[in-house]
């Protein structure tokens, strides 16, 4: 997955998690603070700012669903609460994740790692869920 795909996937997940959009701060190459798109999260952002107002705000490009089990498991738990038929099953020795959705056939997702396979399955499920919401 390239950087753009990761950023888009993390954004899809943040919106599914109903995280509020806000502006994050990023220092440019000249040392000036720039406001960029971000999300208020339940996680602390150790971005070096002394101002506590930025502690829970992550820039869209800094979201960590693709690389942190702590972040990704919140998504899995929310999916399980919303749809009881969601199942994650690893098929060894490959990194495959199977998800079963109500009124929809099972799908397998292959990743280069366990976390990537779960991440891709979550994104696919969210896209399906958004298309079938009542």
Q: What is the pLDDT of residue 15?
A: 92
Domains identified in the chain, total number: 1
Tell me which residue of 88, 76, 90, 85 sits closest to 126, measured CA to CA: 76
Q: What is the pLDDT of residue 13?
A: 96
Dihedral, CA of residue 62, residue 67, residue 68 and residue 74, to nearest 10: 90
CATH number of the domain where residue 44 is located: 3.30.2120
Q: How far apart are CA 22 and CA 102, in angstroms?
A: 34
Cα dist. 27→30, 33, 97, 104 in Å?
8, 4, 38, 45
Which residue has better confidence, 81 or 53? 81
What would the pLDDT profile of 92-121 be if each residue is shown by its tens digit? 677 777 776 666 566 777 788 889 988 998
What would the pLDDT profile of 74-94 be if each residue is shown by its tens digit? 998 888 887 756 666 676 677
Q: What is the pLDDT of residue 43?
A: 65
For residue 78, the enclosing domain spans: 3-132
């Amino acid at each position: 997955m390239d950087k753009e795909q990761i950023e888009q996937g993390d954004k899809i997940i943040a919106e599914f998690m109903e995280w509020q959009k806000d502006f994050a701060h990023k220092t440019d190459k000249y040392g000036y603070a720039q406001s960029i798109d971000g999300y208020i999260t339940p996680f602390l952002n150790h971005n070096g700012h002394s101002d506590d107002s930025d502690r829970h705000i992550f820039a869209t490009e800094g979201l960590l669903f693709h690389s942190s089990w702590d972040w990704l498991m919140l998504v899995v738990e929310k999916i399980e609460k919303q749809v009881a038929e969601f199942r994650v099953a690893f098929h060894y020795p490959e990194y495959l994740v199977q998800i079963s959705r109500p009124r929809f056939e099972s799908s397998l997702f292959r990743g280069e790692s366990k976390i990537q396979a779960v991440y891709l399955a979550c994104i696919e499920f969210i896209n399906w869920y958004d298309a079938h919401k009542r």
